[in-house]
Amino acid sequence: MNDSWNKNAHKRHGQLIAGKDITFSFLLAPTVIKLLRETQPVSTPYVLEIGCGTGVLTEMIAKHVSRIEAIDPSVNSIAIAKTYNSQNTNAVFHCESIEDFSAKTSTEFDMAVAHMVLHVIENIEVSLKCLAKLLKKSAILLFTIPHPCFWAIVKSDFERAAYSYEKSSAHILPFTISCDHEPLEKVPYFHRPLAQYSEILEKAGFAIQRLVEPFPDEQLMIKYNNSNSRTWEYPGFLIWVCKKL
């Protein structure tokens, strides 16, 4: 998995900072920041970001928190993230997995953000238990994933022959966005039905507080139409707000 993200890092960063990823720039990132501000348990939280990629969302989050520590196992992504966030004195980056990070730090965080990460982790049970150890009681976990109910419909190149909604399954899919149809290096996707996510979160010590299905408004839909993108009939993404018990 790390090799895929290392190969994708530079092109992916270029897409993000150029605003070519309509979904990230105008739908998901704004919704994540809005939810972060609405649900933060303290006025200036200490945040952990899991799977920060090249640090574009990190830079946005840093404006609203006291401090953010961001981790990602991709060497190339972290190198870009450090450069991109060089002016953010409250952002610190670590090139490692959540499992390795949790094993060596005693810091407790007020919030955790995982944007488009948990669906690419095979052993999500272990990752969430490691994450839970790093969070204070009543801390908030905010994460986004492709919508488990609709992703196979939304993605035209989804491996439908190997897919059944009620069963967990592993896939390797092309990475494409609305304004750049040349796919990046293929990346893993682990499908899990909603009930399985709920069970895993409960076992890791989290309670689901809220589910959000972001959907483009009329103005944003024009941007998708202008980019010859897909028509939005179903929500493509699901945002979870959970509390550490």
Whether 165 maps to a domain, the answer reads no
Residue 169 lies in a domain: no
Instruction: Establish if 166 belongs to a structural domain.
Output: no
Burial class, 18, CB count within 10 angstroms (exposed 0-12 / middle 13-18 / buried 19+): exposed
pLDDT tens string 114-150: 999 999 999 999 999 999 999 999 999 999 999 999 9
pLDDT at position 152: 86
- Tell me what pLDDT residue 1 has: 54
The arithmetic mean of pLDDT across residues 198-219, rounded, is: 96
φ and ψ at residue 224, rounded to 5 degrees? -65, -45
pLDDT digits (tens, 9 = 90+) for 52-93: 999 999 999 999 999 999 999 999 999 999 999 999 999 999
Q: What pLDDT sits at residue 192? A: 97
Alpha helices in the chain (DSSP H): 2-17, 22-23, 29-39, 56-62, 75-84, 98-104, 124-133, 151-154, 194-204, 218-226
Query: Is the confidence at residue 241, as pLDDT, over 90?
Result: yes
DSSP letters, 129-194, are HHHHHTEEEEEEEEEEEE-TTTHHHH-TT--GGG--TTS-EEEEEEEEETTEEEEEEEEEEEE--H
Q: Is residue 240 in a domain?
A: yes
78 located within any domain: yes
Is 2 a residue whose pLDDT tops 70?
Answer: no
The model carries a pTM of 0.94
In a domain, 163, yes or no: no
Tokens of 42: 């303290």
* Domain CATH number, residue 235: 3.40.50.150
Residue 56 is part of which domain span? Answer: 2-146+194-244
- Distance between CA atoms of 71 and 46, rounded to whole angstroms? 14
Domain tally, the chain: 1
- Higher-scoring residue by pLDDT: 121, 162: 121
Dist. CA 34–CA 30, nearest whole Å: 6
Residue 230, domain member (yes or no): yes
Phi then psi dihedrals of residue 39, to 5 deg: -110, -5
| % the chain with pLDDT above 70 | 95
The answer to whether position 68 is within a domain reads yes
**CA–CA distances in Å: residue 231 to residues 56, 122, 235:** 26, 30, 11
Q: Tell which residue, 193, 72, 198, has the closest CA to residue 125.
A: 198
